[in-house]
Structure 1
Amino acid sequence: MASLDRIDKRILQVMQSNAKLNTKEIAHRVGLTITPTYERIKKIEKLGIIKQYVTLLDREKVGKTLMAFCSVSLQLHSQLQIQRFEEAISHLPAVMECYHVAGQFDYLLKVVVDDMNQYQRFITQKLAAIENIGHVHSSFVMTEVKHDTAFPLDVQGD
């Protein structure tokens, strides 16, 4: 981990819980004045620890009611085939996350779409169009039990 002290970690905790807070509000919550808080945030950004600022949406309220995890196996595992698969997947908006994993399958995809009809079109028209796919197994989310976006940071010690 980059050199973050307890205050840097506290700033990150506060920002992860609400990125809309301004520097004054963050400073108040961590017990600093505005200028050193601003300088610490800029340092953290420069280190690349803060990758980007985003707005998290309620997926169901925007009509994305079906979430599935797709386990994908490739037929061939050459470097070129892996690169082609990853490039193709990166252009599919329904794929929210993609992980190259070890185990029974090669990739785990998090797919979010409007409904089962759209998922069926995604599988048959988008995923099946990618060459070298050997097997796809879908698991559908019935209930989202926990979904955190904030990483736990130890702010007790350095």
Structure 2
Amino acid sequence: MKLDKFDREILRVMQRDATVSMAELSQYVGLSHTPCWRRVKRMEADGVIRQKVTLLDSKKLNLGVSVFIYVTLKNHDGDSLVDFEKAVQEIVEIVECHTTSGEKDYLLKVIVESIEEYEQLLKNKLTHLPLVDHLSSTFALKQVKNTTELPIKNI
């Protein structure tokens, strides 16, 4: 899908505040209400805008421990990868899972309340994921940057 400057500006504004009204959005981007609404609907239909969400503050919810875990699997056949990826979906504390290049197969991001909770998660669930050969955990000490905004460039 080709995006013009108005589409890109709509996306920039909506990334910052998905609750912005159509009237406000049209003012921000310099379009009248109806063309702005049509563009938003088109980008939703095309899947550029997947969903609108509410972002939560993990610290205020007492979920202040972030752990990054590199995972190495015992083998890499198609069924093994599918089984691992399916099992990861079932663990709510895993908030991100990425396949990676290089020596490690996956990178997981886990958010928990405490180190003790992570220890229990590790013992009871993570080490039992299908075909896991090795897990390497790193605790985040401080979050320096946190954005949900994609870097939408100008045309």
Q: Check whether TM > 0.5.
A: yes
For 1:93-112, list aligned pairs within 5 A.
93-112=92-111
Partner of 1:138: 137
For 1:65-104, list aligned pairs within 5 A.
65-104=64-103
CA deviation string 1:85-139 (max 9, x = no partner): 0000011100000001111210000000010111011111011122210000000
Partner of 2:50: 51
Matched to 1:23, the amino acid is M
Identity %, equivalent residues: 35
Partner of 2:24: 25
Give the alignment's Cα RMSD to 1 decimal. 0.8
Give me the whole-angstrom Cα distance separating, in 2, the residues matched to 1:90 and 1:29: 38
Matched to 1:43, the amino acid is R
- TM-score, with length taken from structure 2: 0.98
Give me the whole-angstrom Cα distance separating, in 2, the residues matched to 1:23 and 1:151: 21
CA deviation string 1:1-40 (max 9, x = no partner): x211110000000000111101111001011111111000
Partner of 1:36: 35
Asked if structure 1 preserves the Cα contact closer than 8 Å seen for 2:87 and 2:130, the reply is no
Give me the whole-angstrom Cα distance separating, in 1, the residues matched to 2:31 and 2:64: 42
> Match of 2:125, SS?
helix
Partner of 2:5: 6
Consecutive unaligned residues of structure 2, counting only runs of 5 or more, are none
CA deviation string 1:64-103 (max 9, x = no partner): 0100000000011111011000000011100000001111
> Match of 2:138, SS?
strand
Equivalenced residues, count: 155
CA deviation string 1:126-156 (max 9, x = no partner): 111222100000000000001111111123x
Matched to 1:42, the amino acid is K
Runs of 4+ in 1 over 4 A off after TM superposition: none
> Match of 2:136, SS?
strand
Matched to 1:61, the amino acid is K
Partner of 1:62: 61
Give me the whole-angstrom Cα distance separating, in 1, the residues matched to 2:41 and 2:75: 44
Asked if structure 1 preserves the Cα contact closer than 8 Å seen for 2:26 and 2:32, the reply is yes
Structure 1 residue 54 displacement after superposition:
0.7
Matched to 1:117, the amino acid is E
Give me the whole-angstrom Cα distance separating, in 2, the residues matched to 1:115 and 1:23: 41
> Match of 2:36, SS?
helix
Give me the whole-angstrom Cα distance separating, in 2, the residues matched to 1:139 and 1:51: 31
Matched to 1:154, the amino acid is K
